[in-house]
Structure 1
Amino acid sequence: MDKPPVLLVDRLSFGWPGRTLFQELSFNIPPGVSLIRGDDGCGKSTLLGLMAGDLQAQGGTLSVHGVRLDQHHDAYRQQVFWIDPQTEAHDAISAAGYLDSLSHHYPAFSRAALTELVAGFTLRPHLDKPLYMLSAGSKRKVWLCAAFAAGTALTLIDQPFAALDAPSIRFLLELLQDAADHPSRAWVLADYLAPEGVPLARVLTLGETPGG
């Protein structure tokens, strides 16, 4: 029997001034690992931002396990992890300070999982450094530790393998292989290619329309 979807997107519409990007787009995301793929400018990152509630849709509804974003904004956001990998919003605080703050935002945050993730991504030597001092790869590792420790029903990750070293790529693939079997949580990756060896629950291919 099919597992109930984690995310339902119904007739989603969004565009930038003078440019329609999504027009009544409907899909669902089941448990496991799903992929949003497409070329540069097709809207992958924009769609993640809409699914996260960071961007406001111009039409349609989004719901996670029956909680609608437009009706219960805070409850929806607590069930979704997303961070723009290019953000500088947390640069002034240390990696440890950012990771410690997650427990205030995500009720199912797991400190035990975080400890294992920090070790797996060899991030411990960088925990006390402010985020602005970290390399692009090390900042990515911080975001990935957060993503997998948050314990949210829906986890959104933009270009998960960008700037990672080979051991970290292998560790991330192992995490995603485990995630693929989860009965009630979903991970959505936005990338150009499917992750090697990871069974995908759903693949959504976006067109060539500019915008994301």
Structure 2
Amino acid sequence: MCDNPLLRVSNLVVKYGTFTAVNKVSFQLCPGEVYCLLGPNGAGKTSTIRAIIGLVKPVEGFVEILGKNPYNEVVVKNYFGYVAEDPVLIDSLTPREHIEFVGAVRGVGKEFEEWVNYLVKAFEFSPYLDKPVYSLSRGNRQKASLILALMHKPRILILDEPFTGLDFQSSSVLRKIIEDWRNNSHGVLMSTHILEIAEKICTRIGVIVDGRLVFEDRIDNVKARLQGGEVFSELLNELVKDNVVQVDWGERG
């Protein structure tokens, strides 16, 4: 915990009709931290993230991003960069047109041109800049979404299953960017259902199951418990037993 978190989520409840997708979830993202919402598919990770960025309005609880309410203050949108689990792009436009449009909306000036060019080169994306989105593969759509989220150098990266569809080279680039964000006292909130990603990238994890945050701890504390010979998946199952929840962590992909 920290005195001035980049992101504060308190008692968040999200419902779709009578179905409760997120149930009283609370956590913080501190500067220099990579916080991972870890859980199986359908656990409530995406609904939590959508509520944080204002795509879904919670029925209870509140969210603060750098001390501001994301639902009432438009300026908050510039504080974070968001990558959805399924890339949200306009099929008829090219990635270059997306970059130009988002740059104009966010007020990104010429000083960011070098950074955007670096991202395009790092993700080996130059051949696809002028192709319509509908012609791009899933992986290249993901690269375009990452460039758009990163181009204004936000304080917070919010990444929903960000490694889906990425090849080894692009995954390595993204890991390096996440590390740089953390080292510069920025923050990263990401979701995943892949244990290895949480173990290797995140500094703190929150295990979410059936819409509830059932466990939270720093990853180094979790790893310390692994000295006894437990594997990560077995330990997580042990940790959530007290909540009368049993999770199958064998799923990948």
Q: TM class, shorter-chain normalised?
A: 0.7 to 0.9
1:46 is aligned to 47
**Aligned equivalents of 1:138, 1:21: Cα separation in 2:** 30
Q: Residue 67 of structure 1: SS of its match in structure 2? A: coil
- Structure 2: where are the runs of 5+ without partners? 213-253
Question: How far 1:53 moved relative to its partner?
Answer: 0.7
Question: How far 1:138 moved relative to its partner?
Answer: 0.6
Larger fraction in helix: 2
Q: Structure 1 residues 173 and 17, CA, compared in 2 at 3 Å: closer, same or farther? A: same
Residue 55 of structure 1 pairs with residue 77 of structure 2: no
TM-score, scaled to structure 2:
0.74
The code of the aligned residue for 1:178 comes to D
Q: Structure 1 residues 94 and 25, CA, compared in 2 at 3 Å: closer, same or farther? A: same
Q: Residue 179 of structure 1: SS of its match in structure 2? A: helix
The code of the aligned residue for 1:9 comes to V
Cα shift readout 1:149-186 (whole Å, capped 9, x = no counterpart): 23222221111111111111111111122122121x22
The code of the aligned residue for 1:118 comes to V
* Residues 159 and 189, structure 2, Cα contact 8 Å, conserved in 1: yes
1:103-122, aligned counterparts within 5 Å?
Answer: 103-107=103-107, 110-122=112-124
**Aligned equivalents of 2:35, 2:121: Cα separation in 1:** 26
**Aligned equivalents of 1:89, 1:64: Cα separation in 2:** 25
- Structure 1: where are the runs of 5+ without partners? none
Question: How far 1:108 moved relative to its partner?
Answer: 6.0
1:96 is aligned to 96
RMSD of the alignment, in Å?
2.3
**Aligned equivalents of 2:88, 2:175: Cα separation in 1:** 26
Question: How far 1:100 moved relative to its partner?
Answer: 1.7
Q: Residue 13 of structure 1: SS of its match in structure 2? A: strand
Asked which structure has the greater CA Rg, the reply is 2
Question: How far 1:195 moved relative to its partner?
Answer: 5.0
1:8-27, aligned counterparts within 5 Å?
Answer: 8-27=8-27
**Aligned equivalents of 2:144, 2:198: Cα separation in 1:** 20
**Aligned equivalents of 2:27, 2:35: Cα separation in 1:** 12
2:228 is aligned to none
Q: Percent identity?
A: 21
* Residues 54 and 71, structure 2, Cα contact 8 Å, conserved in 1: no
* Residues 13 and 23, structure 1, Cα contact 8 Å, conserved in 2: yes
* Residues 12 and 60, structure 1, Cα contact 8 Å, conserved in 2: yes
The code of the aligned residue for 1:39 comes to P
Q: Which has the higher contact order (CA 8 A, sep 6+)?
A: 1
